[in-house]
Amino acid sequence: MKLKINGKNIKAKEGMSVLEAARANGIDIPTLCSNDALKPYGACRMCIVEIEQGGRTTVEAACTFPAAEGMSVKTDSPRVVAGRKLVIELLLARCPNVKAVQDLAREYGVADSSADWGKDNEYCVLCGLCVRACNEVVGACAIQFAGRGADKKVDSPFHQSAEDCVACGSCAYVCPTGIIKKNDLAASATCSPEGAKQEGPKREILNWQVEYSLKVCTKCGNPFAPVQHLDKLSKQFNALPQFFNLCPSCREYITVDRDKCLGCGSCMENCPVGALELDDKGGYDKRAQVFEQNCMACHTCQIYCPVGAIS
């Protein structure tokens, strides 16, 4: 598709949003709630743009509005800048000490929010990135929005320990303000009148009141992931149990010796994740080919190879 952004003729692929089209062409549009791994949400309203289409001009969220043939987009018109400044003022009233908000305020020349609005000292901008990552990517559904209006917040069910949380840390990773606290403890202990009971390395996420043991790599001895998270992954992916005993740094991915390979297909038939197939060039010229992006380093194929071509 052909369209204009700030008077510049650009091309966009079918299905792209205005935000995706702009970024693909090196045009910056600010946002707080956008992440490539998540569906567009349009919560922060920082990405508003002015769109002229069919003789009509509207202000829309660039992350949710689809790019279309012949449309004209303005990312920095007076109307757009005024709208973003209002959003920043509201954010400054709610989260005056959040660095991401302060940076946007400096960029747009917003000194402060109106005194009539009062001041909160929140650190959550209600962008929803943590909720969406937990639901859409991890599939744990451990946290949600609670309340409405000024009382809206991200919380675990009934403000209790989030039983469905697997402590993967995705929520902390995507949070733009850093308010979600994920701590990895090298050692932990439970203290009681009988004394201190050592419990090994743990991960705690304070916001959701969870604390889980970390799996220790059987090769290097370093803790690398919560046991609950690995248990969830083991049910999702058809990999051998030993795959989850090694940290990513210690996993040894396979290589195929094409000179030894007979092209029998035994590795392909027994691969639990479909990471192997035969490169068939006709006749007897068949060799196993591994797709590294799919390989889980379980070495099941190595067990079934009759000639030791896989290592």
Higher pLDDT: 149 or 101? It is: 101
Q: What is the DSSP letter of 256?
A: B
> What tens digit of pLDDT does each residue of 58-109 get?
999 999 999 999 999 999 999 999 999 999 999 999 999 999 999 999 999 9
Q: Return the bridge partners of 204, or none.
A: 183, 211
Average pLDDT over residues 120-143: 95
The type of residue at 19 is L
Neighbours of 24 (CB within 10 A): 14
pLDDT one-digit tens code per residue, 274-297: 899 988 877 778 899 888 888 888
- Tell me 310's DSSP state: B
Give the model's pLDDT for residue 282: 76
Gap between the Cα atoms of 194 and 214, Å rounded: 25
The whole-number pLDDT of residue 82 equals: 97
pLDDT of residue 194: 86
pLDDT of residue 196: 86
Pairwise CA distance, residues 228 & 215, whole Å: 9
* pLDDT > 90? residue 116: no
For tokens 């929520």, the residue is 171
Judged against a pLDDT cut of 80, whether residue 242 lies above it is answered with no
What is the helix (H) or strand (E) element at residue 270, kind and residue range? Answer: helix 266-270
- Beta partners for residue 163, in sequence order: none
Q: Are 113 and 101 in contact (CB under 8 A)?
A: no
CA 207 to chain centre: 18
Residue 299 confidence (pLDDT): 85
Give the β-pairing of 153-155 and 48-53.
unpaired
Neighbours of 299 (CB within 10 A): 19
pTM for this prediction:
0.83
> What is the predicted pLDDT for the residue at 44?
94
Q: How do residues 61-75 score in pLDDT, each as one tens digit? A: 999 999 999 999 999
Helix, strand, or coil (residue 105): helix
- Give the pLDDT confidence of 26-54 residue by residue, as tens digits: 999 999 999 999 999 999 999 999 999 98
Region 216-244: what's the mean pLDDT? 87
Give the chain's mean pLDDT.
Answer: 92
Read off the pLDDT of residues 168-219 as tens digits, 9 standing for 90 and up: 999 999 999 999 999 999 988 888 888 888 889 999 999 999 999 999 999 8
Using the predicted structure, report yes or no on whether residue 241 has a pLDDT greater than 80: no
Q: Which residue has the higher pLDDT, 242 or 158?
A: 158
Residue 238, CA distances (Å) to 73, 273, 274, 292 in order = 47, 7, 10, 16
> Reduced to 3 states, what is the DSSP secondary structure of residue 243?
helix
Give every strand in the sheet of 182-185, ordered side by side: 182-185, 202-205, 210-216, 223-226
In this prediction, residue 294 carries a pLDDT of 83
Residue-level length of the chain: 311
pLDDT on residue 243: 80
Instruction: Sketch out the chain's domains with CATH numbers.
Output: 1-119 (3.10.20.740), 129-216 (3.30.70), 252-311 (3.30.70.20)
DSSP 167-180: ---HHHHH-SS--S
DSSP state of 66: B
Task: State the burial class of residue 9 (Cβ atoms within 10 Å of its Cβ: 0-12, 13-18, 19+).
Answer: exposed
